[in-house]
Amino acid sequence: MKMTKRSQWALPYVIFLGLFVVLPLFLVLVYAFQDGAGRFTFSNITRFFTDRDALSTFALSLEVAIENTAICILIGYPAAWILANRKLNRSAVTIVLFIIPMWVNALMRTLATAELFNMMGLQLGKGTLIFGMVYDYLPFMIYPIYNILERMDKSYAEAAADLGADSWTVFRKVTLPLSLPGVASGVLMVFMPTVSTFAISEFLTNNRIKLFGTIIQENINSSMWNYGAALSLIMLIIIGITSLLTGGDKEEQMEGGMV
Amino acid sequence: MAKKIIDIRGVSKSFGGKTVLKDINLFINQGEFLTLLGPSGCGKTTLLRMIAGFLQPDEGSILLDGKELGDTPPHLRPLNTVFQRYALFPHLDVYDNIAFGLKLKGVPEDEIEKRVRKVLKLVVMSDYEDRDVETLSGGQQQRIAIARAIVNQPKVLLLDEPLAALDLKMRKDMQIELKEMHRKLGITFIYVTHDQEEALTLSDTIVVMNEGRIQQIGTPIDIYNEPVNAFVADFIGESNILNGTMIRDRRVSFIGHDFDCVDEGFGENTPVDVVVRPEDIYFTTEAAKTQFTATGGYRYRQRTDDPGLRSLPRGEHRAAVHRPGRHPGHEKGAHDQRAGSHGFRRRQHRAAGRHLRVQHRRLFRGRQGARGDSVRCR
């Protein structure tokens, strides 16, 4: 009797998940395979794969997301390493400074960045788009890497040094491989939202560059629910594949978790 | 004459204004099993980390084979460490963990393989090469950590409380194995522990430390039988430390009785700490053998090994604290450690610092088989 009572405590959560996660996903699935009149069809999917514009937007989105993720790793890893290194960074304030931008609404940050570019008279385009994305998503790369580096047992590096590794070799053979789960976490958190973003491209390129998220938004806004749903489904699948590729080890993913 | 492999000269270290090591002078002989023993926070691990090169002394110097190590980084020192929590690389298997150091040195692959197999055999872990280190038990990880260090044939092996994380049974087994490995390899071992029993079992030489200073250096027998001060006496083994007065040479008074003893040179009527080991107390009904008589109802407060004490029947009993040379089983003057030991050991109150050396000398004066050469306080 007691057991059934306990399990009933989960009910509110089950209802919540059902209403706000499972049902919407299910609706996306249903809409994706319906035409405007509600009949079952594959045409939405086939339309995407035959639509040259949609495909090239999709390719561009992936390209931008990959570039953004790569730049975030290149800047974020050393930043996280410096933050986690007690000798170089003695105060927690620096870490907070890196995290604070995350407290500000991303839309506002993006608008402000766009305004800044306008003031400087810079041509809005791919360069400003990538800048805005890196600016927006960098903390999401730094934090999980910082977390894993900070918690890493220092005796691993000491053991490597003790066995004859100079500091570069220690990093290459021990610190870097052991921090990869943090990088994987960061990749997930940066890559996934950049594939689907539309606000940043809208503001930072004045809609000159359209991303995958943008065409989904355009379709939904112009009441083309079915095609929009199909595009969303495709994006979900891409994101799903990415997380499968990077997030093999669930436990270590947790370690690199967010604030 | 044994060769000094490591010579520590006047080393001091403080962290954030707090002194953790104060003027440490110590040398370690080639092939010796030396233990740094002390309670946590006594500076023993700091000293070990300085030898390994992870920390730099504020003052003083450390010499290896007569050459000053200075600020040589850890990776250029021909020493290897076994870490407290082993620090095996979780992303590498057993073989790659052990081969790590050899690969860095550019040892040819077939040579690496030969040496890895050899050490695996030594630590009784053959056939574990391909295992993931995280699937191993604590004891097995410990063996791999030792293998990973000794495969590099270091001049000195540093061990930082390597058995602390193991359960009692495993610890006992590993103690025997460590001793055996030390004998087989002939490498100098510097071992850090807070476990006095471990130190007494394993070591050739024990360095007892407290609050950043060396309290006493000697063989386990020296340290046990002749603690130089109340701290060492209390830290090593079971003992009763009592306030007493040295009446004159060879005569001490405590618990309201006067006793014979063999120590001298403290002066007359000097307050001393009297250390009575439980095994030095004997109970007998033969009045002739006793130094101290008590009758039933007297409450013994001494700690003792003798299980009979707790079940003493009421009535008259006599407690004897054995007289020098009358230790059962030993003839007077026999060339045996125990024969030379005393029923009492007394030290000046709060003997420390400047008294240490002087007292130490006194201890060994005139003793048969005096091991003055193992006295290393400078």
B207 contact partners, CB below 8 Å, separation of at least 6: B26, B34, B35, B36, B37, B214, B216, B217
Chain B neighbors of A152, CB-CB under 8 A = none
Residue A13: inside a domain: no
Chain A neighbors of B52, CB-CB under 8 A = 162
Q: Does A249 touch chain B (CB under 8 A)?
A: no
**Cross-chain CB nearest to B105 (options A153, A156, A164):** A164
Mind listing the pLDDT tens digit for each residue in B221-249? 889 888 888 889 888 877 777 788 888 88
Strands B156-160 and B188-193: parallel
Mind listing the pLDDT tens digit for each residue in B3-13? 899 999 999 99
End-to-end CA distance of chain A: 39
**Cross-chain CB nearest to B87 (options A159, A164, A177):** A159
Strands B4-15 and B213-218: unpaired
Chain B neighbors of A165, CB-CB under 8 A = 75, 100, 104
- Checking if the pLDDT of B361 tops 50, the result is no
Q: What distance in Å separates the CA atoms of residue A43 and residue A55, rounded to the nearest whole number?
A: 15
Residue A212: inside a domain: yes
Q: What distance in Å separates the CA atoms of residue A74 and residue A78, rounded to the nearest whole number?
A: 7
Mind listing the pLDDT tens digit for each residue in A28-60? 999 989 887 878 888 888 888 888 888 898 899
Q: Does B147 touch chain A (CB under 8 A)?
A: no
Q: Which of A87, A153, A163 to mutate to test the interface with B (most CBs of B within 10 A)?
A: A163
Number of alpha carbons in the 13 Å side-chain half-sphere of residue B62: 23
Q: Do B85 and A177 touch (CB under 8 A)?
A: no
**Cross-chain CB nearest to B104 (options A155, A156, A163):** A163
Q: What distance in Å separates the CA atoms of residue A173 and residue B143, rounded to the nearest whole number?
A: 22
Q: Do B75 and A166 touch (CB under 8 A)?
A: yes
Q: Does A248 touch chain B (CB under 8 A)?
A: no
Q: What is the DSSP letter of B166?
A: S
Hey, what are B274's tokens?
Answer: 């009297």
Average pLDDT, whole number, for chain A? Answer: 85
Chain A neighbors of B85, CB-CB under 8 A = 153, 155
Domain extent at residue A189: 52-255
* Per-residue pLDDT band at B301 (split at 50, 70, 90): very low
Q: Does A173 touch chain B (CB under 8 A)?
A: yes
Average pLDDT over residues A62-76: 94
Contact B7, B188 (CB under 8 A): no
| Inter-chain CB pairs, A–B, below 8 Å | 59
Q: What is the CA radius of gyration of chain B?
A: 24
Task: List Cβ<8 Å contacts ≥24 apart for B338-342.
Answer: B340/B367, B340/B368, B340/B369, B341/B225, B341/B280, B342/B261, B342/B262, B342/B263, B342/B280
Average pLDDT over residues B161-174: 87
CATH, residue A221:
1.10.3720.10
* Per-residue pLDDT band at A247 (split at 50, 70, 90): low
Q: Count other C-beta atoms under 10 Å from residue A183's C-beta.
A: 20
Q: Does A172 touch chain B (CB under 8 A)?
A: no
B249 contact partners, CB below 8 Å, separation of at least 6: B263, B264, B265, B266
Residue A23: inside a domain: no
* Per-residue pLDDT band at B377 (split at 50, 70, 90): very low
For A162-166, B9-13, B271-275, B320-324, which range has the lowest pLDDT when averaged over its residues? B320-324
Q: Does A152 touch chain B (CB under 8 A)?
A: no
Strands B59-64 and B4-15: antiparallel
Q: Which CATH class is domain B4-221?
A: alpha beta
Which candidate, A222, A231, A209, A203, places its Cα nearest to that of A54? Answer: A231
- Checking if the pLDDT of A6 tops 70, the result is yes
Beta strands in chain B (DSSP E): 4-15, 18-29, 33-37, 59-64, 67-68, 79-82, 156-160, 188-193, 205-210, 213-218, 240-248, 251-254, 257-260, 270-276, 281-284, 292-295, 316-321, 345-348
For B74-78, B181-185, B190-194, B308-312, which range has the lowest pLDDT when averaged over its residues? B308-312
Q: What distance in Å separates the CA atoms of residue B296 and residue B301, rounded to the nearest whole number?
A: 14
Mind listing the pLDDT tens digit for each residue in B42-61? 999 999 999 999 999 999 99
Chain B neighbors of A173, CB-CB under 8 A = 100
- Checking if the pLDDT of A168 tops 80, the result is yes
Q: What distance in Å separates the CA atoms of residue A177 and residue B183, rounded to the nearest whole number?
A: 37
Q: Does A178 touch chain B (CB under 8 A)?
A: yes
Residue A19: inside a domain: no
For A181-195, B122-136, B250-264, which range has the lowest pLDDT when averaged over its residues? B250-264
Contact A174, A165 (CB under 8 A): yes
- Checking if the pLDDT of A249 tops 60, the result is no
**Cross-chain CB nearest to B81 (options A153, A162, A178):** A162
ipTM of the assembly? 0.74
**Angstrom distances, CA of residue A115 to CA of A119, A126, A199:** 6, 16, 14
**Cross-chain CB nearest to A169 (options B89, B104, B152):** B104
Nearest-Cα distance to chain B for A70, in Å, is 24
Hey, what are A256's tokens?
Answer: 């690199």
The structural domain count of chain A equals 1
* Per-residue pLDDT band at B260 (split at 50, 70, 90): confident
In which residue ranges of chain B is CATH 3.40.50.300 found?
4-221
Structure confidence at residue A3 (pLDDT): 54
Structure confidence at residue B336 (pLDDT): 28
